[in-house]
Chains A and B, each alone.
Chain A
Amino acid sequence: DAMVIQNPRYQVTQFGKPVTLSCSQTLNHNVMYWYQQKSSQAPKLLFHYYDKDFNNEADTPDNFQSRRPNTSFCFLDIRSPGLGDAAMYLCATSREVAGGLETQYFGPGTRLLVL
């Protein structure tokens, strides 16, 4: 049973055309993350939500925005995709437990292609 779901799995967009990727979770985890992963590179954290508290990484471009309307859903908005934004976008979740946070569970990712 899928616990972290990402839709769509593949997304094709045009250069400069806004696109939204979605992530949902059935784990009721309070922390959600968005990563960007390019071929043969490490996943790179873009931002994360701790409950409703949004945390942007310092080097995340302004072109990337996120929304978390409730615990289960989180969206990644790319306002004006460039060719360099083609990548796999991974959503992950974790939850707070006594003494810290559990490790992260990843969704299957959305592969974005920019034409």
Chain B
Amino acid sequence: RKEVEQDPGPFNVPEGATVAFNCTYSNSASQSFFWYRQDCRKEPKLLMSVYSSGNEDGRFTAQLNRASQYISLLIRDSKLSDSATYLCVVNPTGSGGYNKLIFGAGTRLAVHP
């Protein structure tokens, strides 16, 4: 089983739609969680951290469910510019304080007019 698993997609949605991605992780002791965005042939960029209480940043909402070991990302009112691959990222404990990140393979989102 992969340490971080995501549905690869693609999710094809019209502008203005609401779309949700889920991600599961295997290490129950993991402490830090993130969503990164990666555009085609570009580097990953931090979209948002995921906190236990859930957090929102504009049209983006992230949720963490520790009991079920999954993380979600909700995008409301999708824009064409949201088209990208969204990477679920987990920092497992026992990494020796080195902030080792484990990446999922990403979920591809395509927003069309």
Give residues in A with beta carbon < 8 Å to B.
Answer: 31, 40-45, 48, 50, 55, 88, 90, 94, 100-109, 111
A40 touches B99 (CB 8 A): no
CB distance from B19 to the nearest CB of A (A): 19
A-B contact pairs, 7 of them (CB 8 A): A31-B98, A42-B106, A44-B103, A48-B98, A103-B34, A103-B99, A106-B45
Interface size on B, residues (CB 8 A): 21
- Is A42 touching B87 in the complex (CB atoms < 8 A)? yes
- B88–chain A nearest beta-carbon distance, Å: 9
| Total inter-chain residue pairs, C-beta < 8 Å | 51
Kindly provide the distance from the CB of A50 to the nearest chain B CB, expressed in whole angstroms.
6
Q: Is the interface of A mostly helix, strand, loop or mixed?
A: strand
Which residues of the other chain, B, contact A90 by a CB distance below 8 angstroms?
A: 43-44
Q: How near does chain A come to B23, taking the closest CB pair, in angstroms?
A: 11
B1 within 8 A of A: no
Contact across chains for B49 and A103 when beta carbons are under 8 A apart: yes
A42-B4, A101-B98 as given contacts; A107 in contact with B105, CB under 8 Å: no
Interface of chain B residues 12 through 66 with chain A (CB within 8 A): 34, 41-46, 49
Secondary structure class of chain B's binding surface, majority of residues: loop
Contact of A100 among B46, B99, B103 (CB under 8 A): B99
B33 → chain A, closest Cβ, in Å?
11
Q: How far is the CA of A88 from the CA of B4 in the complex (A)?
A: 20
Q: Check if A42 sits within 8 Å of B103, measured CB to CB.
A: yes
Q: Answer whether A43 and B98 are a contact pair too, CB < 8 Å, given A106-B44, A107-B43.
A: no
Q: Which of B46, B104, B105 contacts A103 (CB 8 A)?
A: B46
Is B100 interfacial (CB 8 A cutoff)?
yes
Chain A residues closer than 8 Å to B46, beta-carbon distance: 103-105
Min CB distance A93 to B, Å, is 10
Taking CB as reference atom, which chain A residue is nearest B42? A108
**Assuming the A-B contacts A50-B98, A55-B98, are A43 and B103 also in contact, with contact meaning beta carbons closer than 8 angstroms in the complex?**
yes
In angstroms, Cα B54 to Cα A63, docked, is 42
Residue of B nearest to A48 (CB): B98
